[in-house]
Amino acid sequence: MKLLPAQKIKETSDPLRTTPAATTAPPMMPTLAVIIPAYNEHKTLREILDTVRAVPVVTEIVVVDDCSTDGTADLLRAMAREDPALKVVYHDRNQGKGAAIITGLKHAASEVVVIQDADLEYEPNQLTELLAEMQRQNASVVYGSRFRGTLQGMRLPNLLANKILTFLANVLFGARISDEATCYKMFRRSVLLEMPLRARRFDFCPEVTAKVRKRGHRIYEVPISYRARTAAEGKKIRWTDGVDAIWALIKYRFRD
Ligand SMILES: Nc1nc2c(ncn2[C@@H]2O[C@H](COP(=O)(O)OP(=O)(O)O)[C@@H](O)[C@H]2O)c(=O)[nH]1
Ligand SMILES: [Mg+2]
DSSP for 192-247, written as a single string: HHTS-----STTHHHHHHHHHHHTTB-EEEEEEEEEPPPTTTT----HHHHHHHHH
High-pLDDT (> 90) share of the chain, % = 84
pLDDT in tens, 181-214: 999 999 999 999 999 999 999 999 999 999 999 9
Give the closest ligand to the alpha carbon of residue 183: 1
Which of the four pLDDT bands, split at 50, 70 and 90, describes residue 237?
A: confident
Q: Which atom of ligand 1 is nearest to the CA of 236?
A: 15
Q: Which atom of ligand 1 is nearest to the CA of 234?
A: 15
CATH domain 28-254 topology: Spore Coat Polysaccharide Biosynthesis Protein SpsA; Chain A (3.90.550)
Residue 223 pLDDT more than 90?
yes
Cα 128 to ligand 1 centre (Å): 23
Residue 34 pLDDT more than 80?
yes
Q: What is the mean pLDDT of the chain?
A: 91
Instruction: Using most ligand atoms within 8 A of CB, pick from 63, 117, 146, 185 the residue to mutate for ligand 1.
Output: 117
Residue 56 pLDDT more than 90?
yes
Residue ranges covered by each domain of the chain:
28-254
pLDDT in tens, 9-31: 555 444 444 444 445 555 689 99
pLDDT of residue 18: 44
